[in-house]
Chains A and B, each alone.
Chain A
Amino acid sequence: MLARTEPINGTAKPKPVSSPMNNFKSDLLNSFSLKSLKLKTKQQELLIRVSILCLVYVLAFITRLFSVLRYESMIHEFDPYFNYRTTLFLTQKGFYDFWNWFDSESWYPLGRIIGGTLYPGLMVTAAIIYWTLRFLRFAVHIREVCVLTAPFFASNTTIVAYFFGKEIWDSGAGLVAAALIAICPGYISRSVAGSYDNEGVAIFALLWTFYLFVKAVNTGSLAWALASAFGYFYMVSAWGGYVFIINLIPLYVMVLLITGRYSLRLYVAYNCMYVLGMLLAMQIRFVGFQHVQSGEHMAAMGVFFLMQVFYFLDWVKYLLNDAKLFQVFLRITVTFTVGVGAIALGVGTASGYISPWTGRFYSLLDPTYAKDHIPIIASVSEHQPTAWSSFMFDFHILLFLFPAGLYFCFKRLSDATIFIVMYGLTSMYFAGVMVRLILVATPAVCLISAIAVSATIKNLTLLLRAKNKVAQTASAKGIGSAKSSSKGLLDQSQPFHRNGAIALLLGAFYLLSKYAMHCTWVTSEAYSSPSIVLAARGAHGNRVIFDDYREAYFWLRQNTPPDAKVMSWWDYGYQITAMGNRTVIVDNNTWNNTHIATVGCAMSSYEDEAYEIMRSLDVDYVLVVFGGVTGYSSDDINKFLWMVRIGGGVFPVIKEPDYLVNGEYRVDKGASPKMLNCLMYDRARGVEIGNKDVKLEYLEEAFTTSNWIVRIYKVKPPNNRW
Chain B
Amino acid sequence: MEKLSISILLTISLLPFLCSSFSPESPTDRRILVLLDDFSFKSSHSIFFNSLKSRGFDLDFKLADDPKLALQRYGQYLYDGLVLFSPSVERFGGALDLAAVLDFVDSGHDLIVAADASASDLIKSIATECGVDFDEDPSAMVIDHKKYAVSEIEGDHTLIAADDLIQSDVILGKTKIEAPVLFKGIAHSINVANGLALKVLSASPSAYSANPNSKLSSPPSLTGSAISLVSVMQARNNARIMITGSLDIFSNRFFTSSVQNAESKIKYDKSGNEQFVTELSKWIFHERGHLKAVNVRHHKVGEADEPAMYRIKDDLDFSVEIYEWSGKSWEPYVADDVQVQFYMMSPYVLKTLSTDQKGLYHASFKVPDVYGVFQFKVEYQRLGYTSLSLSKQIPVRPFRHNEYERFITTAFPYYGASFATMAGFFIFSFVYLYNK
A residues whose Cβ falls under 8 Å from a Cβ of B:
96, 99-100, 102, 104, 108-111, 113, 285, 563, 583, 616-617, 717-722
Contact = CB atoms under 8 A, between A and B. Distances in A.
> Closest 10 CB pairs between A and B?
A104-B395, A102-B397, A109-B373, A100-B400, A111-B372, A720-B235, A720-B106, A104-B373, A110-B372, A109-B344
Given A109-B344, A110-B373, 15 more contacts: A100-B397, A104-B373, A108-B373, A109-B373, A111-B373, A113-B397, A563-B393, A583-B373, A719-B236, A720-B105, A720-B235, A721-B106, A721-B194, A722-B131, A722-B196
B134 interface: no
A279 to B, nearest CB: 13
Nearest to A106: B373
Most buried by B among A102, A104, A721, A722: A721
Contacts of A718: 236
B266 interface: no
Contacts of B373: 104, 108-111, 583
B237 interface: yes
B98 interface: no
A473 to B, nearest CB: 59
A109 B374 contact: yes
Given A100-B401, A109-B344, A111-B373, A722 B395 contact: no
Interface SS majority for chain A: loop
Nearest to A111: B372
Nearest to A102: B397
Interface of B: 14, 102, 105-106, 129-131, 193-196, 233, 235-237, 239, 241, 309, 344-345, 371-375, 393, 395-398, 400-401
Contacts of A722: 131, 193-196
Contacts of B239: 720
Contact of A720 (B236, B309, B372, B401): B236
B346 to A, nearest CB: 9
Contacts, number: 68
Nearest to A99: B401
Given A102-B395, A110-B372, A722-B131, A717 B14 contact: yes
A96 B403 CA distance: 12
Contacts of A102: 309, 371, 395, 397-398
Contacts of B345: 109, 616-617
A113 B235 contact: no
A423 to B, nearest CB: 35
Most buried by B among A99, A110, A718: A110
Contacts of A721: 102, 105-106, 129-131, 194, 196, 233, 235-236, 241
A563 B395 CA distance: 12
Most buried by B among A111, A583, A616: A111
A289 to B, nearest CB: 14
B299 to A, nearest CB: 18
Given A721-B131, A721-B233, A113 B371 contact: yes
Contacts of B196: 721-722
Contacts of A720: 14, 105-106, 235-237, 239
A617 B371 CA distance: 16
Contacts of A96: 400-401
B372 A109 contact: yes
A722 B105 CA distance: 12
B103 to A, nearest CB: 10
A110 B401 CA distance: 20
Contacts of B344: 109-110
Nearest to B239: A720
A13 to B, nearest CB: 54
Nearest to B345: A109
Contacts of A719: 236
Nearest to B106: A720
Contacts of A100: 397, 400-401
Nearest to B241: A721
A102 B105 CA distance: 43
Contacts of B375: 109
A104 B194 contact: no
A583 B395 CA distance: 12
B45 to A, nearest CB: 27
Contacts of B102: 721
A617 B345 CA distance: 7
Contacts of B395: 102, 104, 111
Contacts of B309: 102, 104
Contacts of B396: 111
Contacts of A616: 345
A647 B86 CA distance: 54
Nearest to A101: B397
30 contacts: A96-B400, A99-B401, A100-B397, A100-B400, A100-B401, A102-B397, A102-B398, A104-B373, A104-B397, A109-B372, A109-B373, A109-B374, A109-B375, A110-B373, A111-B372, A111-B373, A111-B396, A113-B371, A285-B401, A583-B373, A717-B236, A718-B236, A720-B14, A720-B106, A720-B236, A721-B129, A721-B131, A721-B196, A722-B194, A722-B195
Contacts of A113: 371, 397-398
Contacts of A285: 401
Most buried by A among B195, B345, B396: B345
A113 B130 CA distance: 47
Contacts of B400: 96, 100
A657 B171 CA distance: 54
Contacts of B398: 102, 113
Nearest to A563: B393
A631 B410 CA distance: 65
A100 B130 CA distance: 52
A99 B195 CA distance: 49
A475 B109 CA distance: 93
B285 to A, nearest CB: 18
A721 B400 CA distance: 47
Contacts of A563: 393
A601 B300 CA distance: 38
Contacts of B237: 720
A592 to B, nearest CB: 11
Nearest to B344: A109
B345 to A, nearest CB: 6
A539 B124 CA distance: 58
Contacts of A110: 344, 372-373
B8 to A, nearest CB: 12
B383 to A, nearest CB: 18
A100 B374 CA distance: 19
Contacts of B371: 102, 111, 113
Contacts of A104: 309, 372-373, 395, 397
A720 B344 CA distance: 25
A718 B196 CA distance: 12
A109 B343 CA distance: 10
A617 B372 CA distance: 13
A95 B325 CA distance: 52
A223 B308 CA distance: 48
Nearest to B108: A720
A563 B308 CA distance: 13
A410 B333 CA distance: 89
A99 B193 CA distance: 51
Most buried by A among B193, B233, B239, B400: B400
A529 B400 CA distance: 39
A108 B373 CA distance: 7
A285 B398 CA distance: 14
A259 B131 CA distance: 85
B85 to A, nearest CB: 21
Nearest to A616: B345
A92 to B, nearest CB: 16
A126 B344 CA distance: 36
B381 to A, nearest CB: 14
A99 B399 CA distance: 11
A100 B402 CA distance: 9
Most buried by A among B196, B233, B395: B395
A96 B402 CA distance: 10
